[in-house]
Amino acid sequence: MAKAASKNSKVKDLKASAEAKNWTKVIRAVRSPKSGAYTFKEQIIHKEKVSDHLAGK
């Protein structure tokens, strides 16, 4: 028979999922000056800093 999950683990998962919603994955296409080909840079940043990051600050 399977073990029942404890109440504490459910509470921790809810807190973690609420915190995870504050982060965003940003993918930027960057052109290589040498070959002209595009590469993609991926970063995970806080949702409040997305506009600053995309503006290049």
| pLDDT digit string, tens, across residues 9-49 | 666 677 777 778 889 999 999 999 999 999 999 999 999 99
Residue 2: its pLDDT value, please? 62
Residues 6+ apart with CB under 8 A from 41: 27, 28, 30
Residue 7: its pLDDT value, please? 62
Q: How far apart are CA 1 and CA 7, in angstroms?
A: 19
> Taking 60 as the threshold, does the pLDDT of residue 1 lie above it?
no
Q: How far apart are CA 43 and CA 40, in angstroms?
A: 10
